[in-house]
């Protein structure tokens, strides 16, 4: 248990007892619904159609009466004025100071408007993350990110500045230039997707002859965008490759950065329950899950995001409450293992439920395999087939038979499925710089 | 553990908001004053999220 107030970004909120956190959440939720009802044409219409008025929310349980919103609705409202955000907005366009959008990997991108206050709020949320991960004013932080229309590490940049860190924007530099700049400036932290963390290490070793553990000064890495840093075998690969601590955090463009791992690395992530309300809903029954260990999809509310409120958003992310508390002393609850899947990614193959993260966990557990892999699910007649493409590390090719035996065995144990394995030459599978798309379901249109 | 004075902090934050709103109102549309006041107000909001919002709950006076 940490008991020094400086261990926390805000000890008032981060150590608030759970019952008081719930009182705070209800107070904020009521304020937000009232604000949205009175200022957003979409929310007023939506709640009136559901027969709900802000005054109907009196208890914590009443929150569940409030209808959920989905990504599809956010796309639809964009057809309305004001362009390009639609009538979910509560603030006039004159107050909007930044545009962001979702990546659009699941359809038309959702556009997000930030006022300066909302942007300060994004950075504030990230301050909780970075402070909990040990970032301080003595750190020189490199951000190898394309600084574009996606929110990604923008707020991480602003938050690191707010914490007093010295921030080095990696911007349009290519991977090799980024590594050399990190080396030259003796940067001790950086932020990237797990895919890129591994890709940078690979480039350092194989293109520059730089050993990240010995030749660079990186002590901590903050990941986002993919679940890898919460998958133990992938986290270990990253930590081994860089000789650094790797921490995860989860954010959603439409919502905000709602959870984070602290330096205790408790096998899960704290939900920032002072800024967000997270509910877990049983995928089949729709009942709210409060007990630990049971998976469901996350319904999330950003309690203080005002210009384009996000109230009871059906995120489709599958999570579960942890059954233990963290030694760091934060009272914010833990979710076990981060986001363990997506309700729309968990797919039935040969009648068995398959989560792509389970395949990653197995591939990354075999040290002779490269970091890249690809899964292709197809159907021939009535039969589903799973093809797993892998790379074997240089110098390990002679061990192929033993590697494949272990790989198939572990896949069968972890996923209850059989796979066709294709071994590709090292370096031939696609490399990604941001989010990887390694799971392809050809049975789905556009899959 | 706690040696912070949340009541006093919240009172000061309230005064800062009032002062900044007064400053903005008296700016006579001088953009350099108005826009910087808006930025200060956004930061004051962050102080409120971190302290004022929880004042009645923190002291068990909810």
Candidates B49, B51, B58, partner chain A, best to mutate (most A CBs within 10 A):
B49
SS3 per-residue string spanning chain A? CCCCHHHCCCHHHHCCCHHHHHHHHHHHHHHHHHHHHHHCHHHHHHHHHCCCCHHHCCCHHHHHHCCCECHHHHHHHCCCCCCCCCCCCCCCHHHEEEEEECCCCCCCCCEEEEEHHHHHHHHHHHHHHHHHCCCCCCCEEEECCCCCCCCCCHHHHHHHHHCCCEEEECCCCCHHHHHHHHHHCCCCEEEECHHHHHHHHHHHHHHHCCCHHHHCCCCEEEECCCHHHHCHHHHHHHHHHHCCEEEEEEEECCCEEEEECCCCCCCEEEECCCCEEEEEECCCCCCEECCCCCCEEEEEEECCCCCCCCCCEEEEEEECECCCCCCCCCCCCEEECCCCEECCCCEEECCEEECHHHHHHHHCCCCCEEEEEEEEEEEECCEEEEEEEEEECCCCHHHHHHHHHHHHHHHHHHHCCCCEEEEECCCCCCCCCCCCCCEEECCCCCC
Comma-separated ranges of CATH 3.30.300.30 domains in chain A: 347-441
More confident residue, B44 or A430: B44
| In the predicted structure, residue B62 carries a pLDDT above the cut 60 | no
Nearest residue of chain B to residue A19 (CA atoms): B57
B42–A27 CB contact, under 8 Å: no
Superfamily of domain A347-441: ANL, C-terminal domain (3.30.300.30)
User: Which residues, listed in sequence order, are joined to residue A113 by a DSSP beta bridge?
Assistant: A99
Residue A74, pLDDT > 70, answer yes
Domain A1-340 annotated CATH 3.40.50.12780:
yes
β-strand A439-441 against A383-392: which pairing, if any? unpaired
Instruction: Say if residue A254's pLDDT is above 90.
Output: yes
CB spacing of A116 vs B42 below 8 angstroms:
yes
Give mean pLDDT, residues A17-29: 97
The pLDDT score that the predictor gives to residue A228 is 86
All residues of chain B having their beta carbon less than 8 Å from the beta carbon of residue A28 are 53
Question: Is pLDDT above 80 for A373?
Answer: yes
B47 touches chain A (CB under 8 A): no
Has residue B17 got a pLDDT over 90?
A: yes
Does B57 contact A10 at a Cβ distance shorter than 8 Å? no
Q: Position of tokens 């390990």? A: A396
Verify cis geometry, omega within 30 degrees of 0, for the bond prior to B36: no
CA torsion, points A202, A341, A124, A307, in degrees to nearest 10?
A: 120
Q: Where are the domains of chain B?
A: 6-52
A333, two tokens: 């609850």
Nearest chain B CA: its distance from A121 CA (Å)? 7
Percent of chain A with pLDDT over 90: 80
B16 touches chain A (CB under 8 A): no
**Mean local confidence (pLDDT), A428-443:** 83
pLDDT, residue A55, reads 97
CB A185 within 8 A of CB A142: yes
Q: What is the mean pLDDT of chain A?
A: 93
Please list the residues that pair with A389 across neighbouring strands. Answer: A374, A422
Confidence of residue A415 (pLDDT cuts 50, 70, 90): confident
Digit-coded pLDDT (tens) for A257-281: 999 999 999 999 999 999 999 999 9
Confidence tier at A33 by pLDDT (50, 70, 90): very high
- Whether the predicted pLDDT of A234 surpasses 70: yes
pLDDT at site A17: 95
Verify whether the Cβ–Cβ distance B54 to A13 is below 8 Å: yes
Question: What's residue A212's pLDDT?
Answer: 98
Residue A300: which pLDDT band, with cuts at 50, 70 and 90?
A: very high
Q: Is residue A433's pLDDT more than 80?
A: no
At residue A96's C-alpha, the angle toward residues A68 and B23, to 5°, is: 120
User: Above 90 in pLDDT, residue A206?
Assistant: yes
Indicate if the pLDDT at residue B61 is higher than 50: no
Q: Where in chain A is the domain with CATH 3.40.50.12780?
A: 1-340
Lowest mean pLDDT among A10-24, A187-201, A255-269, A334-348: A334-348
Minimal CA–CA distance to B43: which of A121, A254, A381? A121
The model carries a pTM of 0.88
The Cα–Cα gap between A219 and A216 comes to: 9
Tens-place pLDDT, residues A313-350: 999 899 999 999 999 999 999 999 888 877 766 777 88
Nearest to A16 among B4, B49, B54 (CB): B54
Asked which of A188-202, A369-383, B16-30 is least confident by mean pLDDT, the reply is: A369-383
Whats the size of chain A, residue-wise?
447
- Dist. CA A90–CA A70, nearest whole Å: 18
Closest approach of A218 to chain B, Cα-based (Å): 31
């Amino acid at each position: 248990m940490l008991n020094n107030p400086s261990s926390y970004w805000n000890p008032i909120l981060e150590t608030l007892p759970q019952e008081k956190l719930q009182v705070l959440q209800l107070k904020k939720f009521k304020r937000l619904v009232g604000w949205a009802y009175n200022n957003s044409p979409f929310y007023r219409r939506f709640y009136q159609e559901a027969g709900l008025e802000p005054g109907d929310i009196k208890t914590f349980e009443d929150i569940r009466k409030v209808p959920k919103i989905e990504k599809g609705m956010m796309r639809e409202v964009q057809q309305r004025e004001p362009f390009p955000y639609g009538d979910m907005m509560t603030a006039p366009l004159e107050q909007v100071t930044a545009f962001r959008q979702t990546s659009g990997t699941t359809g038309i991108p959702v556009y997000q408007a930030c006022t300066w206050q909302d942007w300060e709020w994004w950075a504030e949320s990230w301050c909780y993350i970075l402070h909990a991960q040990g970032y301080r004013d003595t750190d020189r932080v490199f951000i190898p990110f394309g600084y574009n229309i996606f929110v990604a590490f923008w707020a991480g940049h602003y938050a690191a500045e707010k914490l007093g860190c010295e921030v080095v924007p990696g911007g349009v530099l290519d991977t090799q230039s980024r590594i050399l700049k990190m080396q030259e400036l003796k940067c001790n932290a950086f932020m990237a997707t797990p895919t890129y963390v591994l890709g940078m290490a690979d480039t350092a070793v194989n293109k520059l002859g730089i050993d990240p553990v010995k030749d660079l000064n990186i002590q901590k890495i903050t990941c986002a965008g993919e679940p890898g840093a919460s998958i133990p075998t992938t986290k270990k690969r990253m930590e081994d490759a860089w000789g650094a601590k790797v921490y995860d955090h989860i954010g959603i463009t439409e919502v905000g950065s709602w959870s984070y791992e602290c330096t205790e690395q408790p096998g899960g992530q704290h939900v920032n329950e002072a800024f967000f309300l997270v509910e877990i809903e049983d995928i089949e029954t729709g009942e709210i899950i409060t007990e630990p260990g049971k998976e469901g999809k996350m319904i999330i509310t950003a309690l203080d995001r005002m210009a384009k409120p996000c109230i009871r958003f059906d995120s489709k992310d599958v999570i579960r409450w942890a059954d233990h508390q963290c030694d760091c002393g934060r009272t914010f609850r833990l979710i076990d293992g981060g986001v363990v899947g997506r309700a729309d990614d968990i797919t039935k193959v040969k009648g068995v439920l398959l989560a792509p993260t389970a395949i990653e966990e197995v591939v990354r557990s075999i040290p002779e395999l490269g970091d890249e892999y690809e899964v292709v699910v197809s159907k021939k007649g009535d039969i589903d087939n799973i093809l797993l493409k892998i790379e074997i590390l240089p110098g390990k090719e002679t061990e192929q038979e033993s590697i494949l035996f272990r790989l198939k065995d572990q896949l069968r144990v972890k996923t209850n499925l059989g796979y066709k394995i294709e071994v590709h030459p090292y370096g031939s599978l696609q490399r990604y710089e941001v989010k990887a798309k390694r799971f392809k379901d050809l049975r789905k249109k556009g899959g | 553990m706690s040696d912070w004075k949340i009541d006093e902090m919240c009172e000061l934050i309230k005064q800062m908001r009032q002062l900044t709103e007064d400053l903005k109102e008296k700016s006579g549309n001088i953009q350099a004053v108005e826009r910087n006041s808006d930025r200060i107000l956004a930061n004051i909001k962050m102080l409120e999220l971190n302290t004022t919002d929880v004042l009645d709950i923190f002291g068990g006076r909810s």
